[in-house]
Amino acid sequence: MDSILKVTGLTKKYEDNYALNKVDFELKRGEIHGLVGANGSGKSTFLNILFGNSIIRETGGYSGEIIIDKENTYIKDTSSAVELGIGMVHQEFALIGDLNIASNIKINRENLNKKTEKILGKDFARVDVKRNKEDSEKALSILGIDIDPSLKVFNLSTNIKQFVEIAREIDKVNLKILMLDEPTASLNEEDSKLLLSSLKRIKEQGSSIIFISHRLEEVVEICDRITIFRDGEVVSSYSKEAFDIPKIAMDMTGKKVVKTLRKEKDIKENILLSFKDVEVNYGQRNTKGISLDIYEGEILGITGLAGHGQDIFPYGLMDVYEMSGDVRFNGEKIVPGDIEDITKKGIYILPDERKEMGLLLDSPIWKNIVFSSCHLSTEFLKIPWFKSFSPLKSNAMYEHTDNMIEDLNIKCRDKYQLVRELSGGNQQKVCLARAITTKPKLLFVGEPTRGIDLYSKELILDMLLETNIQDKVTIVVSSGELGELKRICDRIVVMYEGKVFDILKPDDSDQAFSLAILGARRVDSEK
Amino acid sequence: MKNKKVQIPQIIICIYLLILLVVVNVIGIPIVGIINESFIKWAMNGVLVLSLVPMINVGAGMNFGMPIGISAGLIGLCIAIELRLQGVIGFITAMIVGSLIAIVFGLCYSKILNRLKGKEEIIGTFAGFSFIPIMNFFWTLVPFKNRQMLYPVGGKGLRPKISLKNYFEGILDNSLVVKIGEFQIPVALILFFLILCFLIQYLYRTRVGHVMTAVSENEKFAQISGVNINKYRTKGIILSTILAAIGICVYSQSYGFVELYDGPFMMAFPAVSAILIGGASSKSATVKQVLIGTYLLQTTYLLSIPVANAILVPEITEVLRMIITNGIILYAFLYKGGSKKYGKI
Amino acid sequence: MKKRLMVLLLALAMTFNLAACAGEPKKEEVAEVPASGEVIKETEAPSYKIGIITPTLSSSEDEFRAGDNMVKKYPGIVKHLTFPENVNAEMETALSQIVSLADDPDMKAIIIASGGSGYLPGLQKVKEKRPDIITITAPIWDDPELMAKYVDINLDTDWARRGVTIVEKAHDMGAKTFIHYSFPTHLAKEVISLRKDTMKETAEKLGMEFVEVVTPDPQTGDGTAPMLQFLREDVPRQIEKYGPDTNIFGSNCPMYDVILDEALKLKFLVAEQCCPTPTQAYPTVMGLEIAEEDSANFDKINAMISEKAKEAGMTGRLSGWPMPVTIFLPEYAVELAKYAIDNNSNLKEDVLNKEFLDKFAKDTFGVGVDFQSYQQKDNYYMMIMESIFY
């Protein structure tokens, strides 16, 4: 079999970070090629480059060679990708609800009435609805779906919409490469099976498929080959005969020599915060029956793949997600969403989306550091008797800020510098400084090291440990960086599909973690 | 920093003002008189402009719904007249009653705005406009007894304009006027305005003000930090409404009439132009911007028409004035959108 | 009271644009018919009717009150309808209202008092349907040629001639300067700009200085406030320049709130308002307390104004017409129609001449009025009322 797509030395840099580093990849004609890798391993960047996504162009393009059908090409935008015969099905639907299925499938490639086309030209020719319908039926039947193409799309269920998306791609005459980004994420088991078998049929038609999924069983079942991405590099590639789920999982997470920073602590099982059978609505999802206990004094890690709900606990409490159920803090019942009460009780949150939710980017450093304390305590009030209308002690605030800048080694011009102008690592330090200033009992931190350089990563991890031990703050860290969690956490919770899937010890094997993250039971692997 | 830069709207208006000043000198309109009037215009409109600040600084945008607060102030004025309270007592009563009503109005208004976050400016415009017919209904039906304020022919319903001459016309304008040579400075009026400015300035040095500005800068941040956003937004909106009520009282005592019915209809727009000229954005505004913007805009108003009449191209100057003031609003909105969202294409 | 409430409710409904177009005339009739119906039983009124249509209370108070007064004075005879609130947008409804009046076989005269244009087709239709009905405009502003052709009697204020009379009056009162305030959209109207030119001509003839000042335009978006603010600033400047023997004239009614207010302070002359009436601006500026029962008693209101003028030392420096022309013309038209029907007079011979019209005004209203036919048309008369000096 010859190759339809050959990529050599593909590199993509976002500012200082390599999202892809010298990736070599080959897709053979008529094969289904699985791409697996943890979050941020570079899979989506890879697909974005191949599909000419505008993000790539706006951030400086890519380097490396892409050879499609033996022709060296540079993919500059989406329409050139489509011209080259690349089709992509996104995780989010790109369908127009008010149009019927046939119109959605044939959009921009409508069959036209020949006579009117001759007279009026392409743009104003009459659309041949009948032939559109026939084409759509044909495309849908390849997928094994029997549905009337004149139905409007907004009436369809999620799984059918997914099939319509795929049908639109396979209806393209010149389709050579079909890329599917987690197509089964929104499908139930039965429909997933249907989809997988239809992929096989598409393959028989002669198209090649790049398939991304977090469900390893699926990948192993339908792919001819699997390539594993990690940290922007291709770490391994297996053909059908060599498939081995535990091994693939290991490749994904990487076998890192983990130096434990954490000292053994004696954690008594004193419950500080407990979630019992709570229900959370986030995005389009709804999860019920979530329970978790957080012990006093521990550092608890929460990990899992993106979108599996690592952030539901802090966001549920702070009314970003809708949460309801029995939540107790120190045995006292609290109402999720009553943010004032919750913060007053000593729960503080540093969100993972630092720039969007964690900082006042256009305000100076000092305001970012003292903001929450001004709001929560009387520490910086000149005349506490005036309550909220008291003037603030500027000198005390400035002094505190200076101390924090020194203690945490925040690199900045002075305390008046705008936070926007700081680097990611220093911004995160400002966040931590703010959290420490409020002296919380329980601190939630989301992705503390995301987008931060190596040196600062270590500093921040140290800082978290120090806060935990010296200030006796219970910390809950949610992160996709398993290695880091293992270094600082006492226990690690693995989330899968919005629920607490398993709670592991940091010294459990990487394999156990990899499988848990992918939703496979430990018992299975031990068998 | 960003605020210290002189922005394009200010440059345009300053150039326009300079040209007017030169022309005024050339054609010999008494400049001292104009300066004296400019003080009064500055302070009489200043409070209304100031009323925009609290709402901007809780992230609720420009208060295009100002007619709501103004209506509250008008009710206060009418009640003071109904009770035939004259002088300082009447004026203070009008402001207190107006403020109390403004609290109620502001509460309802904030309920609407908090439900429709992100579209405050449009919703505010609609709310303000649709509030006018409701108030018109009120003015025609309210059973006031003081015949100085009722329709002369029908004998029922309030007049479109009520004279304050017998009550408190010019109570601030004409008290404590300090004369320096030919210059007359209405100290009471300016002092009253500056005290209000100081109070607002002080507010932003307190915890409440601190939190409010954070809400307007990054609502999600404030929420995650445990701030009940709607509570602060409600506070800001009520404060704006109260200031608008006080603002119309100050405006009316200078103006000499209480203007009911469609009077408040367009009042939000010059105020918004003023604060934008001062350099505010719809996310943050300072008292300094209020002071500068109001003075610049009102002085151009003051100068442009006598100049126009003198050089006999009245229509053109009128059109130019409209273009400049409305153009600045448009520019400010474009600039806000352009620099932050679509800058990098 | 009930009726007034009804009308107010209706006005509100229209403001909110909730009322359906077709529904409005019906509602009006519901409000009107019982009122007149009741009275008929009591007085056994003659078996004819006179219809008058005016704007609503909120869009023009005077005409509405005039219609209302006539209903009270001649119950069972006069039938009063109102045009939709926003006539320009609902002209069709307005026209159908006019025509609907002619459906009543007892209807003998139809009067339109509006001060707007576009109503002529309605009156034409009435004439086609019922040539016996007398049609009177008091006033409408359609094309004069056509109005003279299709309407029996056209009455209006003589706007252009006032360009001469006002200046002459101001001169007689001692004015040396005549200031004319207006703004672009007003000056674009032919009548107003013609009047201004006439004023200028007359002033020059009489040796007065004529000063023209343009104010911010209230019709271009910002409302009247900037215009009035400007007057507040500009009037003292002008008086300082030209002295108190100056007459100030403004082309827009709301201006007089400020002009008269400043006149009381600065003692300059106001010979006549643009729409001369004791009920506008004077009560506001002078803080008149007019008791409800005196609300249509113009003699009393005039007396009150004279007294206040005296207090301000302004006796003889303010002048106007003793009653609002917007009340006078509609009422005059109703009286005229009633007279013509009662006496079965021949319009052309008995009624449509200056002598009769002037005398009829003096007899019925007690005010001197000077009618002149417009461009020698025999059924188009323009009037000027005698002045009252406060």
CB B168 within 8 A of CB B87: yes
Chain C residues with CB-CB distance to B44 below 8 A:
none
Residue C258 lies in a domain: yes
Q: What is the pLDDT of residue C17?
A: 42
Looking at residue C36, its pLDDT comes to 39
Q: Are A26 and A37 in contact (CB under 8 A)?
A: no
- Is residue C47 a contact partner of residue C77, using CB atoms and an 8 Å limit? no
Residue among B206, B208, B224 minimizing CB distance to A357: B224
- Interface probe with C: pick from B70, B261, B305, most Cβ of C within 10 Å: B305
- B202-235 pLDDT, tens digit each: 888 888 888 888 888 888 888 888 888 888 899 9
Instruction: Give the residue numbers spanning the domain of C350.
Output: 2-156+326-381
Chain B residues whose CB is inside 8 A of the A320 CB are: 220, 223-224
Among the listed residues A65, A69, A55, A68, the one whose alpha carbon sits nearest the alpha carbon of residue A19: A55
B259 and C225 within 8 Å at the Cβ level: the answer is yes
Judged by CB atoms closer than 8 Å, whether chains meet at C292 and B155 is answered as: yes
Residues in chain B with CB shorter than 8 Å from the CB of C289 are: 146-148
Q: For residue B136, list chain C residues with Cβ-Cβ distance below 8 A.
A: 15, 58
Q: Tell me which amino acid residue A249 is.
A: A
- C230 and C108 in one domain? no
- Is C390 a member of any domain? no
Whether residue B246 is predicted with pLDDT greater than 90 in this model: the reply is: yes
Domain end (from C302, C320, C338): C320
How open is the CA angle C102-C107-C108, to the nearest 5 degrees? 110
If asked whether residues C65 and C105 sit together in one domain, one would say: yes
Closest residue of chain A to B225, computed from CA coordinates: A372
Q: Which of C282, C298, C320 is the last residue of a domain?
A: C320
For B225, the closest of A362, A371, A387 (CB atoms) is A371
Asked, as a colleague might, if the bond just before C139 is cis with ω within 30 of 0, I would say yes
Annotation: CATH topology of A258-346+441-527: Rossmann fold (3.40.50)
CB contact under 8 A, B315 and C184: yes
Measured between beta carbons, which residues in chain C are less than 8 angstroms from residue B252? none
In this predicted structure, what is the pLDDT of residue B247?
94
- Contact exists between C and A (3 or more beta carbon pairs < 8 Å): no
Say which residue, C2 or C367, is predicted with more confidence: C367
The single-letter DSSP state of residue A70 is T
- Among C65, C212, C224, C327, the strongest candidate for a mutation testing the B interface, having the largest count of B CBs within 10 A, is C224
3-class SS of residue A13: strand
- Residues C301 and C336 grouped into a single domain: no
Residue B68 has pLDDT above 90, yes or no: yes
Contacts of B5 in chain A (CB under 8 A): none
Give buried/exposed letters for B57-85 (b at 16+ CB in 10 A, else e). Answer: bbbbbbbbbbbbbbbbbbbbbbbbbbeeb
Above 80 in pLDDT, residue C234? yes
Across the range C10-39, mean pLDDT stands at: 41
Chains that touch A (3 or more CB pairs under 8 A): B
Rounded to the nearest integer, the mean pLDDT of chain B is 83
The rounded percent of chain C whose pLDDT value lies above 90 is 13
Return the percentage of chain B with pLDDT > 70, whole number.
Answer: 88
Is the Cβ pair B141, C217 closer than 8 Å?
A: no
C-beta separation of A226 from A243 below 8 A? yes
Give per-residue pLDDT as tens, C213-230. Answer: 888 887 766 677 788 888
Alpha carbon of B209: minimum distance to chain C alpha carbons (Å): 33
Q: Can you give the pLDDT at residue C332? A: 92
C327: amino acid identity, one letter: I
CATH of B2-342, one of 1.20.120, 1.10.3470, 2.120.10, 3.30.1490: 1.10.3470
Whether A258-346+441-527 and A1-85+174-256 are alike in CATH topology: the answer is yes
Q: In angstroms, rounded to a whole number, what is the distance separating the alpha carbons of residues C284 and B148?
A: 7
What distance in Å separates the CA atoms of residue C140 and residue C91, rounded to the nearest whole number? Answer: 14
Q: What is the CATH number of the domain that holds C171?
A: 3.40.50.11390
Q: Which helix (H) or strand (E) holds C254?
A: none
Which chain B residues contact residue C223 at CB under 8 A?
A: 262-263, 265-266
Q: How far is B185 from chain C (nearest CA, A)?
A: 16
Cβ contact, residue pair A392, B218, below 8 Å: no
CATH number at residue C83: 3.40.50.11400
Q: What is the total count of domains within chain C?
A: 2
The predicted structure's pLDDT at residue C174: 87
What's the rounded Cα separation, in Å, for the pair C206 and C219?
33
- Given an 8 Å threshold on Cβ–Cβ distance, is B210 in contact with A374? yes
What does the DSSP assignment read for C207-250? T-EEEEEE---GGGTT-SHHHHHHHHHHHHHHHHHH-SSEEEEE
Number of Cβ within a 10 Å radius of residue B282 = 21
* pLDDT higher than 50, residue C28: no
Q: Answer yes or no: are the C-beta atoms of A226 and A237 closer than 8 Å.
A: yes
**CATH fold label, A354-439:** Rossmann fold (3.40.50)
pLDDT exceeds 80 at position B287: yes
User: Looking at A383-387, C15-19, C130-134, which range is the least confident one?
Assistant: C15-19
Are B217 and A374 an interchain contact pair (Cβ–Cβ within 8 Å)? no
Please tell me whether residues C149 and C246 are part of one structural domain.
no
Q: Do B221 and A392 touch (CB under 8 A)?
A: no
Report the C-alpha gap between A41 and A45 in whole angstroms. 9
Closest CA to C281 of B253, B263, B261, B161: B161
Q: Determine which of A379-383, A430-434, B1-5, C308-312 has the lowest per-residue pLDDT on average.
A: B1-5
Structure tokens at B41: 């215009």
Residue C388 in domain: no
pLDDT at A155: 76
Query: Residue C295 carries which side chain, given as an amino acid letter?
Result: S
B321, pLDDT greater than 80: no
- From chain B, the residues in CB contact with C180 under 8 A are none
Architecture of domain A1-85+174-256: 3-Layer(aba) Sandwich (3.40)
The token pair at A488 is: 């600082």
Given a cut of 50, whether residue C42 has pLDDT beyond it is no
Q: Are C92 and C17 in a shared domain?
A: yes
- For residues C288 and C167, state if they share a domain: yes
- Please choose, from the candidates C317, C227, C220, the residue with its C-alpha nearest in 3D space to the C-alpha of residue C265: C317
- Residue B305 has its nearest CB partner, among C215, C288, C301, at C215
Q: How confident is the model at residue C317 (pLDDT cuts 50, 70, 90)?
A: confident
Same domain, C180 and C295: yes
CB-based touch B/A (3+ pairs, under 8 A): yes
Q: What are phi and psi of B211, to 5 degrees?
A: -65, -40
Q: Which residues of A fall within a CB distance of 8 Å from B344?
A: 58
**Beta strand B183-186 with B177-180: parallel, antiparallel or unpaired?**
antiparallel
pLDDT band at B54 (very low <50, low <70, confident <90, very high): very high
Q: Quick check: B280 and B266 in contact, CB under 8 A?
A: no
Contacts of B208 in chain A (CB under 8 A): 388-389
In a domain, C178, yes or no: yes
Q: Write down the pTM of the prediction.
A: 0.73
pLDDT at C235 over 50: yes
Helix (H, G, I), strand (E, B) or coil at A226: strand
- Find, in chain C, the residue whose alpha carbon is nearest to that of B158: C284
State residue A258's pLDDT score: 54
B206–A360 CB contact, under 8 Å: no
| C233 and C90 assigned to the same domain | no
Token pair in block for residue C170:
């101001």
Considering CB atoms only, which of B207, B208, B221 is closest to A360? B221
Give the distance, in angstroms, between the CA of residue C123 and the centroid of all CA atoms in the same chain. 20
- Tell me how close the Cα of B213 comes to any Cα of chain C, in angstroms: 31
Could you tell me the pLDDT band of residue B236, with boundaries at 50, 70 and 90? very high
Report if residue C18 sits inside a domain: yes
Please tell me the predicted confidence (pLDDT) of residue B108: 93
Q: How many CB atoms lie within 10 A of CB A283?
A: 8
Together in a domain, C106 and C207: no
Same domain, C313 and C336: no
pLDDT at A356: 80
Question: Is the Cβ–Cβ distance between A390 and B207 less than 8 Å?
Answer: yes
Could you give the 3-state DSSP secondary structure of residue B40? helix
Domain ranges of chain B: 2-342
**A194 SS3 class:** helix
Q: C2 pLDDT exceeds 80?
A: no
Distance from CA of C56 to the nearest CA of B (A): 13
Query: How far separated are the first and last CA of chain A, in Å rounded?
Result: 38
Pairing of strands A474-478, A442-446: parallel
B97 confidence band (pLDDT: 50, 70, 90): very high
Q: Where are the domains of chain A?
A: 1-85+174-256, 95-173, 258-346+441-527, 354-439
**Chain C interface includes B318 (CB < 8 A):** yes
Nearest CB to A343; choose among B202, B217, B225: B225
Q: 10-residue block means of pLDDT along chain A (527 residues)?
A: 84 78 88 82 84 81 86 85 85 79 84 81 82 87 83 79 85 85 74 83 85 82 88 86 81 64 71 89 78 89 80 86 88 86 88 83 87 78 75 84 86 83 82 88 87 74 87 88 84 86 84 79 45
The answer to whether residue C32 scores a pLDDT higher than 50 is: no
Taking residue A337's Cβ as centre, other Cβ atoms within 10 Å add up to 16
C386 within domain boundaries: no
